[in-house]
Structure 1
Amino acid sequence: MRSILLQQFNGYLSTGGSNRYYIKDLTWQVKQGEHWVLLGGNGAGKSALGATLIGEAKQQSGQRHSTFNNLQLVSSDLQKQLLSANRKSDKPQKVTDILFSEPEINSDLCQQLITALNFDALLNHNFTDLSTGETRKLLLIKALSANSDLVVLDEPFDGLDTKSSGQLNRLLKQLSTHTCFVFVLNRVDEIPAFVDHFAYVSKGLLQHSLAKPCAAKRADLFKLLHLEHTPITIPDSTEPAFISNVNAPLVKLTDAHVRYGEQTIFENLNWTIKQHQHWQLIGKNGSGKTCLLNLITGDNPQCYNNEIEVFGFKRGTGESIWDIKQHIGYISNTLHLQYRVSISALNTVISGFFDSIGLYQQASELQMRLAKQWLALIGLSDKANCAFTQLSYGDQRLLLIVRAMVKHPALVILDEPCLGLDEANRQRVLLLIEKVCAAKTSTVIYVNHHAADTIKGIEHTLKMEDFKPTYYEQHTAHSESII
């Protein structure tokens, strides 16, 4: 069986002048009979991966092995290159010169494509006289007539009218019986029905791929794309921002420690969190991440044995738990396990206004409207009336994250928000957090164990290992030497 295999491929694509787009550690195989679509946001690297597949990238390391013949690419970059070359030339090329420049062209198929795409009248024109849509038709006809084993089509429907798009779709379906297609698309409604492999691209990597996915799996991927393409517009708040002075710290811990009997979890921890200064908190199991967070929220009684300031309150000076918690949004695996009430998805989001598990108060019209906007942001408007307990684990997780954010708290604490999620839902959660960071309506503390789960906008890191007690390090080293 013929195929193309990229194994830990590293290289680069020249993008004009000295500019380069680097491909890192790409592993991908396309086999005869498969039809792929690459999906993702603008700048995700979809076009670069498509061009790399057919050999356009300069290889630096890794492997690229192909048993396919005559690979073809249709893309806007190719269109621009051809147009630029013709404009610089003293004698612009005729359409027929470009179309029939390849010796292996299938004349009968070429004429069929010309007729189907209503291109006959343009054959004797100069290439530079064609419109954008007509240029795209020319490149499509040429690539599809070349008896190729594989064709990469990068946004093939761009610039085509409705009738031409329909004709092209029908032709692609006919050709799909003997030609492999890889589509690069931004719109899910343009995916041909015969496509059987779906891939999500982010940061130049194939983050998630599905082979012949069921409808539910495709829906999960499309929800991810919904978030990817949704503008960074976080719904409004019901109240003004808590902190008006951006230089005032939200949280300040001085020489913080947690001890249980003779065991010290951490010590000598100094941490100041300023407004819109997002933090990632990392550490091994048992390093004290949750203990530290509970000092901030007031859920650990040792908060009164420490010097802690939260939202202007100094712990132990008569403040109530509500004085603190009303300004905090929180999600953790423990909360998810506790949230087993059978209320609707919409009411789950609304419960965030009242910090309750379940909804026991009447929501205002404004709260209802804002909750619906949050549901739209995460692509769950159609699930507004579905019971929380009947939704998928990934949808539940997104709802609880939105619940933590709905009232625009001064501080949002996300304790392992991706725990238990599959790859598609993990990407959705990371993207949503990225949008919240970019909106600058709340300050985020993000806890995770995986270095790969980084989020754009979180630029500060607190490592719990920096605050281990000395005896703990000695004990660990002694234990390891015994083993």
Structure 2
Amino acid sequence: MSLPLLAFEHCTVRHLNRVLFADLSFRLEPGQHWALVGPSGAGKSTLLATLAGRYVVTGGSATYPLLAALGSDAADPFFSWRKRVALVGPQATFRASDHHGQLYYQQRYNAAAAEEVPTVREYLGAGPPLAATPFWTYERVVDVLRLGSLQDERLIKLSNGETKRLRLAAALLRNPRLLLLDAPLSGLDAATRAWFDTFLAQVAGSGSTVVLATAASEVPALITHVAVLANQRIVQVVPRAQFAPAPPRAAPPALLDVPELQALSTPRPDQPAYQTLVRLRGVSVRYGEKVVLDNLTWEVKPGERWALTGPNGAGKSTLLSLLNGDNPQAYGKDITLFDRRRGTGESIWDIKRHIGYVSPELLHYFPGQLSCQQVVETGFADKLVRAAATPAQRALATRWLRVLHLEAHADQPLQ
């Protein structure tokens, strides 16, 4: 009988003073590949981190028989099973080249400041391989993850999808026996999603076992078993062939306080009525030889709703950065925002105060120690720091948390 990669039996898992899992049992055998599914907050990400050894097991039995055996013959006397595991979480943690400087969101659009950030080549070549004869070499991960044209690109300039591929490449360079992926399809364009099944087959072919957290409707073809989570518990374990995801259901109308949402969204009486929200005429953006936007003309009127579509790296985020006051190349361009031509004496805050902005990349730069309440309150300021909110602003932030069913998490740290 073969050894399991890992075996958790009736475990209690804790982090500081919180119990993350009670009576957790999970067993991973060679040849299996698992998908963790369940609603938001069910514990999928926490389970991946637990399997990676990030949290303390205070009760029950947690062992890694096969992973420990694979490392027992390594020349490194400090080798542990953890070096056979790679976890790719939802957020990137890049640092400046000197390893001390903190990155900031607008840095990606500032050519001089971006030079402080490592390139893709430097990031992937930062450490020696953990295997003596690695299957995943630098050349192979660059080819398989389609990073060839990005090797000299600064990390901070990568799109969300390109960053995902880079982090997968970095994980594979560890030549892990167990690869843990948290929401790997999030932020990927249609072409990359179609490619993902082929990629996972290559990973499995290299000898790695895959466990990933994903939506029930997006279980990759490689998966052999599915674990369904709810409220920090595994409530169902089934072979992939027997898994039938429940059809999506619309939230009951009673869960949404429509009058409160309308009240929060209604413009204040003192807000002016604009004729043109956005107008760009012949706008181009380039970084060195790379043209990101080429002679773009576009106009947005009040009441319109636009969707910007295109593959990863097409320039969608760069276009939004021109509107949000984050990109210095907006100066000198024919751009009008809220009936006012850019470069006519307005401050960045004059622009940002009219715009709500959310993006996967922006999330990486929020200080993790901020509470959820404080994160919402940064909407009243022009920086991603704890804002000196007035009582009225705090009350307004609380109303938004309540209408989005997040009030119970108000004091919880973002990370």
TM-score normalised to structure 2 length: 0.48
User: Which has more helix, going by share of residues?
Assistant: 1
TM-score normalised to structure 1 length: 0.42
